[in-house]
Amino acid sequence: MIENLNPVSRAIYPWQKAVWEQFDLERLPQAILLHGQAGIGKLDFALELAQAVLCEADLFSTGTKPCKECQACRWFETANHPDLISLVPPLYRHKLPHAELEGMPKQEVDEPEEKEEGDAKKESSFIKVEQVRLAIDSMNVGAHRGGKRVVLIYPLEGLRTEAANTLLKSLEEPNEQTVFILLSDHLDRVLPTIRSRCQLIALPKPTREDGLQWLQTHLGSLAEQKISLEEIEATFDEQGGAPLAAREIILSRRLDDDKDSMALASSATRILLEAMSKGKEIPWIDCAEKIHKAPFGVLLACMQRWLFDIQSAYQIGELRYYRRHEKHLQALARQANQARLLKLWKSVLLARRHENHPLSTRVQMESLLLQYQQLFGD
Ligand SMILES: [Zn+2]
């Protein structure tokens, strides 16, 4: 039977529970090498472990570490703990819960990854040797809080020869105050000389069933609305059963979808406004054809504001929404048939109420734009 040395903390994933419980925080080795497949939550585990090492609560009274309440824990959570040194290359920075964990300049942290190509991208996946030296140097100064100091390195493969040798030197000369928490997605790429100086701990991944269940729960409301079970399963399997990797991919796909539909909405709105400013000459079929793929609600809202402005220009001579189209709107207000305007206004309202109705957007848009054209008829 495994002795439960360390009760499970809130942030530990269910599939890591057994490993976490075996840690004796009072007797940690000088260097721990956590290894396992990418995307299974190793970094979260490592951060939790780092926080537990730095936590200043009395284990016997709190029963669990990190307590998340002591001064040290609060510093840790706000990325201000002076005794946590994390070496993470720019490419992986977004995986940290707080991007400025070790006070790196923000621009380096926020460097957009998609703009990096070739060498720059490759470079950003490595930890600079100067960073390692700085970390090692700072270890010779006593820990700020008088307790332990943690050096967290992720991923270990991000150290090139020179940086790895610098790390190796400090692993060879143990410093009792310092705990190294090293992470690797590919244990076979880690220098044997480094490996041999660490306690190796393999972090498992969940079973397929547990992993899928976790994934569904942690996609939140997204899972109910837009993501099919098939997509969840397919992505999970593509990622070799790594739930966090699957989650990141699914969420980034949604983000792209949102970006796409926002871009689509903004160009459709521009086309619609330009068409409506032509009044009687509105190329309504052509316009409906060009904009019908944009979200219907956005199109209707745009049309509604436009009609409001025509009405408002007619009644009080002022606009509320589209002041940059003032010239057109004032002219249209003079031409529009007010009874038909009211009728169209009601049609748009009605369409908005049923905007999720499966009727084709193009057909509905054509009908509304034709009505719009007739505002300016004889
Ligand atoms: Zn604490």
Instruction: Annotate 21-71 with DSSP letters as a single string.
Output: HT--GGG--SEEEEE--TTSSHHHHHHHHHHHHH--S-HHHHSSS--S-SH
Handedness of CA 267, 272, 278, 283 (dihedral sign): positive
Residue 339 to residue 133: CA distance in whole angstroms: 78
Q: How far apart are the CA of 51 and the centre of ligand 1, in A?
A: 7
Q: How far apart are the CA of 47 and the centre of ligand 1, in A?
A: 13
Q: What would the mean pLDDT of 256-280 be, rounded to a whole number?
A: 89
* Amino acid 6: pLDDT: 47
Q: How far apart are the CA of 65 and the centre of ligand 1, in A?
A: 6
Residues bordering ligand 1, an ion, CB closer than 5 Å: 55, 57, 66-67, 70, 73
Q: How far apart are the CA of 245 and the centre of ligand 1, in A?
A: 29
Q: How far apart are the CA of 199 and the centre of ligand 1, in A?
A: 25
How sure is the predictor about 357, in pLDDT bands with cuts at 50, 70 and 90? low
What confidence tens digit (pLDDT) does each residue in 116-159 have? Answer: 456 666 667 788 888 888 888 877 776 777 788 999 999 998 88
User: Structure pTM?
Assistant: 0.65
SS3 197: coil
Which of 330-333's residues contact partners 24+ apart within 8 Å by CB, and which partners? 331/279, 332/277, 332/279, 332/375, 332/376
Q: How far apart are the CA of 64 and the centre of ligand 1, in A?
A: 9
How sure is the predictor about 225, in pLDDT bands with cuts at 50, 70 and 90? low
Is the predicted pLDDT of residue 109 greater than 50, yes or no? no
SS3 331: helix
Check residues 79 and 102 and name the one with the higher pLDDT. 79
What confidence tens digit (pLDDT) does each residue in 237-256 have? Answer: 988 999 999 988 888 887 77
Residue 89 to residue 188: CA distance in whole angstroms: 20
What confidence tens digit (pLDDT) does each residue in 25-38 have? Answer: 888 899 999 999 99
Please state, rounded to an integer, the average pLDDT across all residues of the chain.
83
Q: How far apart are the CA of 69 and the centre of ligand 1, in A?
A: 5
The single residue listed with the structure tokens 């020869």 is 161
Structural domains in the chain, CATH included, are 14-205 (3.40.50.300), 213-255 (no CATH), 277-375 (1.20.272)
In one-letter notation, the amino acid at residue 137 is D
What share of the chain in percent tops pLDDT 70?
85
Helix axes 361-375, 296-316, angle to 10 degrees: 10
Please name the residues in contact with 164: beta carbons below 8 A apart, sequence gap of 6 or more: 191, 194
Q: How far apart are the CA of 54 and the centre of ligand 1, in A?
A: 7
What confidence tens digit (pLDDT) does each residue in 37-52 have? Answer: 999 999 999 999 999 9
Nearest to 81 by CA among 93, 64, 98: 98
Which token pair is 372?
């719009």
* Amino acid 222: pLDDT: 59
Q: How far apart are the CA of 122 and the centre of ligand 1, in A?
A: 37
Q: How far apart are the CA of 67 and the centre of ligand 1, in A?
A: 4
Check residues 277 and 225 and name the one with the higher pLDDT. 277
Is the predicted pLDDT of residue 353 greater than 50, yes or no? yes
What confidence tens digit (pLDDT) does each residue in 299-346 have? Answer: 998 999 999 999 999 988 888 888 889 999 999 999 999 999 999 998
What confidence tens digit (pLDDT) does each residue in 177-194 have? Answer: 899 999 999 999 899 999
Q: How far apart are the CA of 328 and the centre of ligand 1, in A?
A: 65
Q: How far apart are the CA of 48 and the centre of ligand 1, in A?
A: 11
